[in-house]
Amino acid sequence: MMNTAPSLRQMNLWILAFIMPFSASFAANVDPEAEAVLRNMENFLNQAESYEVSTTWVTDASANGLKDKSLSNAQVALVRPDKFAFRLTGDSPETVVISDGNQLTTYLEKYRGIAVEPVPPDFTTMPGSLVTQVIGQTPYHGFLFSTALYDGLVGDASRIVYHGVKTQNEVPCHHLEVFRPGPSFELFIQEGDQPLVRAIVPDTDMMEKQLQFRIPGIEIEVSFAFDNWKINQPLDPSVLALTPPEDTFKRATLLQMVQAGPPHALLGKEAPTFSVTKLDGTEFDLSQELGNKVVILDFWSMRCGPCVTALPTLAEVAEEYESKGVVLLAVNLGEPSDMVASFLENRDVDLPVGLDMARTAATSYQVGPIPQTVLIGKSGRVENVHIGLPPNLKSVLSEELDSLLAGKSLLD
């Protein structure tokens, strides 16, 4: 039986879900001293023409003698009215959102995508936007891009208590305790004429109790530090610059990127080579086809209904495009050759079948759900990966094959 016990590293995803603030505002019971500190913080940052801050998010998790530590860093910069930068790195997937006053650029490592769009008119138009939601996936950072900093930070609080002044990271700070529907947190705001947020420490008791059923004995510590504040200082041009990795896909909009979902890991990469015995007893060596022809690899099984439905269409497309320089191999996933032969004969389907008995080809192509149909261009790169059965498979494949045969790339 497969081991389904979650890892400690998975805890970070669940912790994130617990500590994300709600968007709703509540009529909170706020100590007057806490109210004054929070309003001073809001007014101070709203009056600043620009500010920068570096944040560090640390999660320590342990259970049953195992330990895991996750550390992420974010760089935040804002220049009114329409320039800003947000960069999340470290153990979190890299996320970059930059407005240089002319273009809004978003890079998401998770999606291997970059989108360039018009900038928002000013920061007051951002709340509720997809950009804000992307930034807001990092807890306790979204408020920095809003003029309503008070509500953005503690808008879902039911009670805010003032505990006086306490030194936090060698800085005298006002110590507040914020009670909310999710985990409460301690909030430290610098004392003096620069009331800046310096640290946020969530209460992890609720998280530990709710995660016990997944990992018994789990203990969690989470902290957010806000350091290296710069107020009204010139912004280094590199803060608003971005050079994405070469294998990044360009999307028209951030919405299009998110809707498309994370691309297959092999998309745009050199196609892994393999050799298998075909159903007719001959050998298929992919390395002999790359660079000469366009290749279709379809990973399938007799037990997969959509796979079986697709086979006649694949056979038809293969026959139509064979003379144009297209090679098809329907890669069967480890089923006996005599059963596969009988299965296809009973359905009157004739197409080249490779027998991936050890599933080495499937492993190379990171096959999960099937059918998985891979298109490889003459360049030897993986041009597209279809997972599942499109309702218009023939027209989709025909259009893509025509483009590849014309020397175009499906990645552009």
Cα angle value 29/26/174 (rounded, 5°): 50
Share of the chain above pLDDT 70, in %: 91
The pLDDT tens digits of the residues spanning 244-291 come to: 988 888 888 888 888 878 888 899 999 999 999 999 999 999 999 998
How confident is the model at residue 259, as a pLDDT? Answer: 80
Q: Are 135 and 97 in contact (CB under 8 A)?
A: yes
- 127-133: Cβ within 8 A, 24+ apart: 130/254, 130/255, 130/258, 131/97, 131/104, 131/106, 131/254
Q: Report the length, in residues, of the chain.
A: 412
The ranges assigned to domains in the chain are 11-260, 275-405
CA distance 244 to 238: 14
Give the pair of three-digit tokens for residue 298. 């379809």
How confident is the model at residue 12, as a pLDDT? Answer: 53
CA distance 166 to 171: 8
Top-confidence residue, 81 or 228: 228
Cα→Cα distances 34→41, 161, 238, Å = 11, 7, 37
- As a whole number, mean pLDDT of residues 123-132 equals 63
How confident is the model at residue 124, as a pLDDT? Answer: 58
Listed residue (40, 44, 36, 41) closest to 162, CA to CA:
36
The pLDDT tens digits of the residues spanning 290-349 come to: 988 999 999 999 999 999 999 999 999 999 999 999 999 999 999 999 999 999 999 999
CA distance 229 to 320: 64
Q: Which fold has domain 11-260?
A: outer membrane lipoprotein receptor (LolB), chain A (2.50.20)
CB-facing half-sphere around the CA of 133: CA atoms within 13 A: 6
113-118 and 249-251 beta bridge pairing: parallel
CA distance 372 to 336: 20
How far separated are the first and last CA of the chain, in Å rounded? 43
Listed residue (400, 301, 407) closest to 344, CA to CA:
301
CA distance 320 to 151: 62
Dihedral angle of Cα 281, 286, 287, 292, to the nearest 10 degrees:
110
Whether pLDDT at 1 is above 60 = no
The pLDDT tens digits of the residues spanning 21-47 come to: 544 445 579 999 999 999 999 999 999
Query: What CATH number does the domain located at 275-405 have?
Result: 3.40.30.10
In degrees and rounded to multiples of 5, residue 406 shows phi and psi of -85, 0
The pLDDT tens digits of the residues spanning 59-89 come to: 998 888 888 899 999 999 999 888 999 999 9
Instruction: Tell me the three-class secondary structure of the chain, residue by residue.
Output: CCCCCCCCCCHHHHHHHHHCCCCCCCCCEECHHHHHHHHHHHHHHHHCCEEEEEEEEEEEEEECCEEEEEEEEEEEEEECCCEEEEEEEECCCCEEEEEECCEEEEEEHHHCEEEEEECCCCHHHCCCCHHHHHHHCCCCCHHHHCCCHHHHHHCCCCEEEEEEEEEECCEEEEEEEEECCCCCEEEEEECCCCCCEEEEEECCHHHHHHHCCCCCCCEEEEEEEEEEEEECCCCCHHHHCCCCCCCCEEECCHHHHHHHCCCCCCCCCECCCCEEEECCCCEEEHHHCCCCCEEEEEEECCCCHHHHHHHHHHHHHHHHHHHHCEEEEEEECCCCHHHHHHHHHHCCCCCCEEECCCCHHHHHCCCCCCCEEEEECCCCEEEEEEECCCCCHHHHHHHHHHHHHCCCCCCC
Residue given tokens 């789990």 in the structure block: 218
Residue given tokens 């985990």 in the structure block: 183
Say how far residue 268 (Cα) sits from the centre of its chain: 18
CA distance 141 to 128: 14
Task: Share the mean pLDDT of the chain.
Answer: 88
> For the ranges 4-13, 108-117, 125-134, 380-389, which has the lowest average pLDDT?
4-13
Listed residue (35, 53, 43) closest to 235, CA to CA:
53
CA distance 253 to 339: 48
pTM for the full predicted model: 0.74
Say how far residue 231 (Cα) sits from the centre of its chain: 31
